[in-house]
Structure 1
Amino acid sequence: MAPKSPAIARLQPSYALSPITALAFYEPTPDRVLLLAGEDTWLKVYDIETSQLLGQLTIFSSQPIHGIHVSQPDAHSPSPSGILLWGGHSVALLPHSSLASLLAGQPAPQPTESRAPDWIYNGILFPQDPNPTSTSKPTGALVTAHNEILPFSLPPTAAEPPQQQEQQQHPLLFGPLTSPSRPILYSANLALLAPDTVLVAGGTVFGEIIVWKY
């Protein structure tokens, strides 16, 4: 009878290197700049001066992060919406309070992952009204692979106290798609011309550049 072969040890991964698929700068204070990096499904926060990893948070369940848009406080929006992240059909809005928790070394809840009806190429956040109403404008907009603008909003939470609003995670509410034409785009970008006007630029496979306003 042949002797039994020795048991083969199961290998365990000790280190994984993932591609960096999205980058954005974030200024929590006027004298400090941080780097937000999308690494697979994770959002990682680095200090620019020290290169130190300050915190990380899972954003999507399986979809890599493809883009990051950061809203900064200004005269039009003293209370910015947060950090918009997207990848494939997935999109999430991370409140600034969650990022502050990461920087303080505290756990932050994973944002709610919403699903857009089409592939997302870019996104933008609108300046927010300090006194929102039921008829307030959308929180932001996405541009899809078919040259469509998809506005989105958060559910109304005006009746909730501010502390509860920050702790709760809400799925995004999508509005109707808008487009002057629906070619298949290979790239797209958005720029805010005014608090309620977005400039859309899209590039097609045939070498065309389509520019229009929303």
Structure 2
Amino acid sequence: MTNYIFTPPERPSLPVRGLSARFPVRRIFCVGRNYAEHVREMGRDPDRNPPFFFTKPSDALVQNGSTIPYPAATGNLQHEIELVAAIGTAGANISEQDALSHVMGYAVGNDLTRRDLQTQARDDGRPWDTGKAFDASAPMTEILRSEEIGHPQSGEIWLDVDGERKQEGDLAQLIWKLDEIVAACSRLWRLEPGDLIMTGTPAGIGPVTAGQTMTGGIAGFPVLTTTIGPAI
């Protein structure tokens, strides 16, 4: 047994529907600008350019039903509801034809974003870490196994803030489809069991403030609920 100078934190994990064992999270990859209307609302052209990725640390994971503090250093926290693919089989340079065989299941996630910091970083040509990779920025539901639900290619995706609909779209509107996303990601990193890929958000992103509750989902999936508490 390795002797550490302090006790390492418990590995972040998600429940898996129908199993007592949990899914240990290794890395969180995120696809940017993957719904055309969202690309337009961000002031960009939704041409089918190659997908690009950014990351969040695994300890940004937030369990469903949690209350999280309003994050530091921002005045513009925004929601982004997404389908999340959970990798169960390792691979690099995976073909699109084989890509979905590496996905063991799917969850609903919310790519919380400090939009003011992300926009400033983008305009300055700097990495997006301050806007995307902060504490408690990745709420997610339990994982539904692909052997039970298949690989969803369509279905309503939505998010409400305090009961008011803010985001609404369909998985069929993804510019880059699930097989293409997994294959593209595997050309940049060797994917390993425990990796998660957030696949992009539909239009309607917007701010949330302390005291508000976000509920969001995808047809056939559990509802993801997260409440924003006061800043620490």
Where on the TM-score scale, by shorter chain, does this alignment land: which range?
0.3 to 0.5
TM-score normalised per structure 2: 0.32
Relative contact order higher in (CA < 8 Å, ≥ 6 apart): 2
TM-score normalised per structure 1: 0.34
Larger Rg: 1
Structure richer in helix, relative to its length: 2
Structure richer in strand, relative to its length: 1
